[in-house]
Amino acid sequence: MSSNDNKDRNELPYWPMGPFKLRLPFFHYRLEKPEIIQGFVLFSIGLSIIPLLQNQVGMSYEAALAIVIVMHITMIMQTALGSPFVPGLITPLIPLIVLFLADFEPGPEAIQALVAVQLLVAFIFLLLGITGLGKILVKKLSQSLKAGILIGAGLAAFIGEFEPGGRVAETPISLIIGGAICLFIMFSPTFKTLYQKSSIARFIANFGIMPAILVAIAIGWLVKEYPTPSVEWGITTPNFVELWNYTPFVIGFPSLDVFVLALPIAILGYIIAYGDIIVGTTLIERAEKYRKDEVIDNNVTTLHFITFIRNLMHALIAPHPGLAGPIFTAGTASIVERYTYGKKAMQSIFSGTNTLVLSLFVSCFVLPLVSFFQPFLPIALSITLILTGYLCITLGMEQVTTNVARGVAIIMAVVLAVYGAAHALVVGLVLYFVIEKGWFATTKEHEKDEKKAS
């Protein structure tokens, strides 16, 4: 970034709170209308965790809804304290957690196992935040390993959706059309050209992935892939009293044996979340190239502290199988895309992210919205995963520019998609040190490749 760029950039005002930067609506930023409207649809992604809480943990719908509301409160906390990311779940870990919880009886045993995972994830984030290793990892990890994590996460998202028994395989018409519309709006040069020429295209672009979800819902209902919703009126009634009975203060904290069993899952959770941080960091860096008016403080160490606090809160009062992830990739990508259109489109990256999470929270209490989206929860989750997969793969490919680095990244990505994050990290590190790292004097050709990569 040039010195002239720095002079023209200003940081959005805030109230300092130790390592955090507190921003409140109307005091520090305006509410963005498109993000308010998006929140009335995208909140359904958070609701999609409710069936897992009912089936795997044994909670009632009302208690599970209370957990979703606590999740949105912790999301508000993250954006209010200065993170430019829209927070979310550690989505790729959910299938592994479901398998892990299957070894425990639904009820107190399963809840204790879930609490163990979430406590371990929290303290891993705390350790890496205090030591600063989290920031070092993001800055110092080789481009090939970053690319391997990104591409592998993208492949895993697509495989999970398209494999036999996956949501796309079960309801292909609505999800394929909805996914294609989503990718067209978000990434197509043709749509960007339409945006410049058409007021209708500009109107659609303001709402990110929401139009694609709504189109997929309409098609899914018309072709009878999804049932007609039964809309109810009023305010939702989450059961926080029942939720308290599912906390470790009532059922007891996990034993040491359960913590030992949960440790591999927690480590995988951090590795996957770390990949999400790489995606988010790349998105913010891309946004700064388009907007010359704002300084975006993307402090990875502070993000680790916030993620520790969020997961600790969940473990103690609202155990959540999606965990508290540092970034909702699809939501962040949607905001970043609109942010690049200029200050008139979005005052600040923080006005966009904060507005969206506030809208998500309010939507959870609107019973007509909750009851309408209940049959269509798989659509919101699937389109999110499709967008996340595409974004991870394209960002990963941008990271590598040499043949050796591409080879390391692709092999690591395939291992990640097939065997999981732990195996992939080992394979990626071995390949990096064996074939990519220059141990002796490099050839001129290799030097040229390294310069291009940097």
Q: Is the pLDDT of residue 382 over 60?
A: yes
| Burial (CB count within 10 angstroms: exposed 0-12, middle 13-18, buried 19+), residue 247 | middle
> Which pLDDT score, from 0 to 100, does residue 115 have?
94
- Least confident segment among 30-39, 116-125, 126-135: 126-135
> Which pLDDT score, from 0 to 100, does residue 8 have?
65
> pLDDT (tens digit, 9 = 90+) per residue, 286-303?
888 888 888 888 888 889
> Which pLDDT score, from 0 to 100, does residue 134 have?
67
Residue 298 φ/ψ region, left for φ over 0, alpha for ψ in the -120 to 50 degree band, beta for the rest? beta
Residue 121 φ/ψ region, left for φ over 0, alpha for ψ in the -120 to 50 degree band, beta for the rest? alpha
Q: Is this structure's pTM higher than 0.95?
A: no
> Which pLDDT score, from 0 to 100, does residue 85 have?
93
Per-residue pLDDT, averaged over 267-292, amounts to 82
Query: How confident is residue 2, by pLDDT bands cut at 50, 70 and 90?
Result: very low
> pLDDT (tens digit, 9 = 90+) per residue, 18-68?
888 999 988 888 998 888 988 888 888 788 788 778 877 778 888 999 999
Per-residue pLDDT, averaged over 275-290, amounts to 84
Q: Is the pLDDT of residue 323 over 80?
A: yes
Distance between CA atoms of residues 276 and 92, nearest Å: 10
> pLDDT (tens digit, 9 = 90+) per residue, 179-192?
898 888 888 888 88
> Which pLDDT score, from 0 to 100, does residue 71 have?
94
Distance between CA atoms of residues 303 and 324, nearest Å: 12
CB atoms within 10 A of CB 297: 15
Q: What proportion of the chain, given as a percentage, has pLDDT over 90?
A: 25
Q: Is the pLDDT of residue 1 over 60?
A: no
Distance between CA atoms of residues 157 and 91, nearest Å: 9
> Which pLDDT score, from 0 to 100, does residue 355 have?
94
Q: Is the pLDDT of residue 308 over 90?
A: yes
CB atoms within 10 A of CB 202: 14
| Burial (CB count within 10 angstroms: exposed 0-12, middle 13-18, buried 19+), residue 348 | buried
Collapsed DSSP state (helix, strand, coil) of residue 294: strand
Query: How confident is residue 135, by pLDDT bands cut at 50, 70 and 90?
Result: low
Residue 114 to residues 119, 270, 290, 323, Cα–Cα distance (Å): 9, 15, 42, 9
Residue 156 to residues 143, 152, 238, 414, 423, Cα–Cα distance (Å): 20, 6, 33, 9, 14
> Which pLDDT score, from 0 to 100, does residue 3 have?
45
